[in-house]
């Protein structure tokens, strides 16, 4: 029982990190209907920038995190500007192929020796780990830091999207580009803003992920990216609370199936659940159902 | 009314095929085409055969599939196991194993397709991608149930008896199968479903049957291509069939232009060759840049030609045309022109 509670806490930690990545997928999908396959690689860049700035440039951790969020925000906006905006009015599959290209570019570019290099790097702990025990239930300070950081970021995002003018503009653009433009909203700026926000969250996710699982390499973004994306679909893609719910479920599925069923089969279990959910609710747990306009 | 007559272009296709075959054999005998490039040529035909399958599923029936490599892998493992355990190099068993590879991939596509083809566009893509990942995980662990598959270390020991002639014949059959299906009521139903599923339904097209049929045929083609792959390359490894490989097929079909079979074929073959030429040109010292150059090329090409390299054009010999009863020769004006076929697919 106590073992199970510990596993659920581990699943919560992973789920919270997935939530940070899943939000970027879901916000971008909500606003331009694009599966941004490069998002997992932005997450990787976030982890690497924090690693390089603490290890090579000796910056303190609390500077490294905002720095990596800033770098990734710029990266996200650049990707959108160069690779997706020229294809905004083409068939959606064209932008998807472009996203696959960007993903490969970041992965292979990152593997070059003068960029990040192809090897695994071990991330040093930014602070010493403290474990607390409550009647067998162990909680580490890393888990607490992940929890607090993610809750603050999510609360900030929720405030931004629901309470500010720019959030209102984002929702308007996601609802209807043309109508939003007629109302005087600068659609291009809002889309750039969405990419910046999503990429910064992914960078924070990358830093937290590499603190909790301290090994990084240029291809590390593929699987967490895929899982987070699955989480976004599970919750109903385009829907922010849905992405959080999906991510928390995905974290538990990952950790619990590795602990109690089989660690080799855990990816298969996660995707089986995805397919089953889609068959029952074709637009995800919290997604709007309704006829799709083609 | 008599049965309608068609200018089929079939003699032209067969003539060209015979010519390609003879040239290839001459180049092989004179060793102008060395062993390595023969291998690449065979690979390009195998990959293109599977890509024709995805072209049917996505380019013509409009069903977004991101799990094509899984069916390629199912064919490879099925045929590889049969040949390895039963055939030991027997050519008849090899030919049977090709059929078995296609049959297993098609049967699995039928079982998985019945429920998930109800999903639309992106959701279908994600479900098929999830299925592909499940298959890859099962391949990684398959040695627990069937030791001969080798699990995550890959399967070796499949007799290497697939040579150019059989690969070429299978490729040609795939092209001809597609060409005839396109003219049939199935082909018209596929395109109707692609353009507007609700309207197709209203016009009496059985959309479930149409989509499932396209999916099964397309996946069976991937299966037979996989079966050839297993008999051509010394190792069958699960990582050759993961979801990134499914992207390769998707890239070929989209760059070729959705709804253009000539585009798929031309892009499939040149895609394989360009990647290898890039390897040869860059040399050992700059090999790291291959992925970067490939990725940049991909982004540039799709931005410059978002409708595909050939913009949906079709080699006319691949579109059989109806002959007007009065005129002795087929008049082009009565034919569905390549331009009118440009599809409007949204993923």
Q: What is the pLDDT of residues B277-316, one digit of tens each?
A: 888 888 777 778 888 999 999 999 999 988 888 776 777 7
pLDDT on residue B334: 39
Tokens 């690779």 identify what position?
Answer: A83
DSSP string for residues in B119-168: S-HHHHHHHHHHHHHHHHHHHHTGGGT-GGG-GGG-EE-------HHHHH
Each residue of A205-251: pLDDT tens digit?
Answer: 999 999 888 889 999 999 899 999 999 999 988 888 889 999 999 99
- Per the domain annotation, does A288 fall within a domain? no
Q: What is the ipTM, given to two decimal places? A: 0.89
Cβ contacts of A107 on chain B, cutoff 8 Å: 291
pLDDT on residue B347: 41
Distance CA A255, CA A248 (A): 11
Backbone angles phi, psi at A24, to 5 degrees: -60, -45
Task: Enumerate residues 16 to 55 of chain B having a beta carbon within 8 A of any beta carbon in chain A.
Answer: none
Domains and CATH numbers, chain B: 6-341 (1.10.3470)
Each residue of B314-337: pLDDT tens digit?
Answer: 777 777 666 665 544 444 443 444
**Inter-chain contacts counted by CB atoms under 8 A, chains A and B:** 132
- Per the domain annotation, does A230 fall within a domain? no
pLDDT on residue B273: 92
- Per the domain annotation, does A273 fall within a domain? no
Q: Which residues of A265-280 are buried (b: 16+ CB within 10 A; e: fewer)?
A: bbbbbbbbbbbebbee
Distance CA B37, CA B32 (A): 9
- Per the domain annotation, does A159 fall within a domain? yes
Residue A83 has pLDDT above 50, yes or no: yes
Distance CA B127, CA B21 (A): 40
pLDDT on residue B287: 79
- Per the domain annotation, does A132 fall within a domain? no
Which residue in chain B is spatially nearest to A282 when comparing CA positions? B119
Domain span including residue A184: 2-123+139-220
Closest CB to B299 among A101, A111, A237: A101
User: Chain A contact for B123, CB < 8 A?
Assistant: yes
pLDDT on residue B2: 54
Question: For testing the chain A interface, which of B137, B243, B278 should be mutated: the one with the most A CBs within 10 Å?
Answer: B137
Mean pLDDT of chain B: 85
- Per the domain annotation, does A205 fall within a domain? yes
Each residue of B222-235: pLDDT tens digit?
Answer: 999 999 999 998 88
Asked if A265 and B289 come within 8 Å (Cβ–Cβ), the reply is no
Cβ contacts of A100 on chain B, cutoff 8 Å: 247, 250-251, 298
Chain A residues within 8 angstroms (CB to CB) of chain B:
33, 35, 83, 86-87, 90-94, 96-98, 100-105, 107-109, 111-113, 118, 226, 229-230, 233, 237, 264-265, 267-268, 271-272, 274-275, 278-279, 282-283, 292, 294
CB B73 within 8 A of CB B139: yes
Distance CA A255, CA A7 (A): 7
- Per the domain annotation, does A293 fall within a domain? no
Each residue of B43-53: pLDDT tens digit?
Answer: 999 999 999 99
Distance CA A87, CA A32 (A): 11
What whole-number percentage of chain A has pLDDT above 70? 98
Residue A46 has pLDDT above 90, yes or no: yes
Which residue in chain B is spatially nearest to A293 when comparing CA positions? B196
| Banded pLDDT at B341 (limits 50, 70, 90) | very low
Closest CB to B137 among A33, A90, A268: A268
Q: Give me the number of domains chain A comprises.
A: 1
Each residue of A104-142: pLDDT tens digit?
Answer: 999 999 998 888 888 888 888 877 788 888 877 888 888
Quick one: DSSP state of residue B338?
Answer: T
Which residues, 6 or more positions from A117, have their beta carbon under 8 angstroms from its beta carbon?
A: A111, A218
Each residue of B215-264: pLDDT tens digit?
Answer: 999 999 999 999 999 999 888 999 999 888 999 999 999 999 888 888 99
């Amino acid at each position: 029982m106590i073992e199970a509670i510990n596993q659920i806490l581990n699943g919560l930690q992973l789920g919270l990190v997935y939530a940070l990545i899943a939000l970027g997928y879901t916000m971008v999908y909500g606003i331009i209907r694009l599966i941004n396959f490069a998002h997992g690689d932005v997450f990787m860049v976030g982890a690497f920038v924090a690693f390089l700035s603490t290890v090579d440039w000796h910056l303190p951790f609390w500077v490294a995190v905002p720095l990596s969020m800033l770098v990734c925000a710029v990266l996200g906006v650049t990707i959108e500007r160069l690779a997706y905006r020229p294809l905004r009015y083409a068939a959606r599959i064209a932008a998807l192929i472009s996203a696959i290209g960007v993903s490969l570019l970041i992965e292979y570019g990152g593997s070059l020796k003068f960029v990040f290099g192809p090897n695994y790097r071990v991330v040093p702990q930014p602070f010493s780990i403290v474990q607390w025990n409550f009647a067998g239930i162990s909680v580490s300070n890393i888990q607490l830091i992940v929890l607090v950081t993610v809750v603050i970021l999510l609360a900030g995002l929720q405030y931004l999207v629901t309470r500010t003018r720019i959030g209102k503009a984002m929702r308007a653009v996601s609802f209807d580009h043309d109508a939003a433009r007629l109302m005087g909203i600068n659609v291009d700026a809002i889309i750039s803003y969405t990419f910046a926000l999503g990429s910064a969250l992914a960078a924070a996710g990358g830093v937290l992920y590499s603190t909790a699982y301290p090994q990084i390499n240029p291809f590390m973004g593929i699987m967490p990216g895929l899982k987070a994306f699955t989480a976004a679909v599970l919750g109903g893609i385009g829907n922010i609370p849905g992405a959080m719910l999906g991510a928390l479920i995905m974290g538990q599925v990952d950790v619990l199936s590795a602990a109690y069923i089989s660690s080799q089969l855990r990816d298969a279990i996660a995707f089986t659940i995805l397919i089953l959910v889609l068959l029952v609710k074709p637009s995800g747990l919290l997604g709007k159902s309704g006829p799709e306009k083609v | 009314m008599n049965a309608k007559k068609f200018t089929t272009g079939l003699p032209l296709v067969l003539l060209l095929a015979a010519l390609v075959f003879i040239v290839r054999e001459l180049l092989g005998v004179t060793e102008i085409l060395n062993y390595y490039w023969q291998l690449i040529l065979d690979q390009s035909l195998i990959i293109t055969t599977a890509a024709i399958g995805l072209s049917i599923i996505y380019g013509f029936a409009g069903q977004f599939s991101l799990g094509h490599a899984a069916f390629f892998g199912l064919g490879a493992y099925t045929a590889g196991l049969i040949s390895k355990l039963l055939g030991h190099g027997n050519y008849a068993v090899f030919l049977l194993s090709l059929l078995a590879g296609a049959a297993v991939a098609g049967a699995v596509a039928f079982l998985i397709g019945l429920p998930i083809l109800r999903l639309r566009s992106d959701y279908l893509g994600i479900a098929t991608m999830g299925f592909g990942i499940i298959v890859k995980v099962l391949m990684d662990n398959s040695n627990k149930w069937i030791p001969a598959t080798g699990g995550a270390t890959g399967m070796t020991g499949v007799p290497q008896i697939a040579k150019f002639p059989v690969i070429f014949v299978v490729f040609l059959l795939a092209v001809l199968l597609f060409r005839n299906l396109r003219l049939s009521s199935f082909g018209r139903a596929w395109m109707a479903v692609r353009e507007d599923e609700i309207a197709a339904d209203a016009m009496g097209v059985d959309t479930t049957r149409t989509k499932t049929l396209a999916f099964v045929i397309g996946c069976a083609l991937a299966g037979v291509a996989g079966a050839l792959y297993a008999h051509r390359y010394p190792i069958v490894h699960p990582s050759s069939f993961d979801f990134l490989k499914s992207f390769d097929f998707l890239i070929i079909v989209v760059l070729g232009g959705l709804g253009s079979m000539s585009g798929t074929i031309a892009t499939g073959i040149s895609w394989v060759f360009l990647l290898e030429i890039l390897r040869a040109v860059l040399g050992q010292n700059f090999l790291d840049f291959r992925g970067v150059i490939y990725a940049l090329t991909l982004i540039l090409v799709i931005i410059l030609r978002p409708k595909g390299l050939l913009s949906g054009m079709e080699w006319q010999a691949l579109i059989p045309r109806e002959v007007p009863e009065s005129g002795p020769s087929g008049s082009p004006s009565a034919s569905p022109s390549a331009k009118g076929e440009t599809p409007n697919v949204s993923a």
